[in-house]
Structure 1
Amino acid sequence: MSVIHAPLHPGEIVKNALFDDTELTVTEAAVRLKVDRSTLSRLLNGHAGISPDMAYRLSLLLNTSAEMWLNLQRDYDLWQVKHHSPKLKIEPLKEAA
């Protein structure tokens, strides 16, 4: 039986992208992104998600796409809901065709 692992919080991926192979500090990265250090720190520590604004900023700094960052956040959020929410008993409006 295979074990299903939760996806990494997008902040972990941002942390790797910003700080692996560089000597950049959180403060320096925040300055380059033009955000408060605390805003970046919350993301990096998994206490905040990636907003469209942050996705765009990351895309400019890291030469990636904003969509990539938003997709990572969407996938993480959806996994969390599916695996940590109570089982909802919602009846569909119609039977599937």
Structure 2
Amino acid sequence: MRSSRALSSIGPVHPGEHLAEFLDELEITQYRLAKDISVHPRRINQIVKGERAITADTALRLARYFGTSPEFWMNLQDHYDIDKARAALGGRLESEVKPHVA
């Protein structure tokens, strides 16, 4: 797992990059994947290009197809979303949100 320092230098990695790696390693085209998991090819293309998030529906389909868990795909998406939000907030989080003291 990358450190937060590594994230700041290269930015968050969209889950589509991981999906593209799976496809490359297994020599599967985006079109073949889309047909095999019964989704429109555009959905896969948009995910691979980082233009679309992985939904629970897509995570379930990818998990069944690749023999992974749906949580694997959802965690990739969640980590990406959190990293993007952290980068967008920058230092404002510490100044705008004061921790609750019991």
TM-score, normalising length from structure 1? Answer: 0.84
> Identity of paired residues, percent?
30
What's the offset of the Cα at 1:8? Answer: 1.5
Which of the pair has the greater relative contact order for Cα pairs under 8 Å at 6+ separation? 1
Query: How do 1:4-83 residues align onto structure 2 when only pairs under 5 Å count?
Result: 4-5=6-7, 6-22=11-27, 24-83=28-87
Structure 2 segments unaligned to the other structure (5+ residues)? none
What's the offset of the Cα at 1:91? Answer: 4.1
Structure-2 residue corresponding to 1:85? 89
User: 1: distance between equivalents of 2:44 and 2:16?
Assistant: 9
**What is the Cα-based RMSD across aligned positions, in Å?**
1.8
TM-score, normalising length from structure 2? Answer: 0.80
Structure 1 segments unaligned to the other structure (5+ residues)? none
How many positions carry a matched residue from both structures?
Answer: 93
Structure number having the greater helix percentage: 2
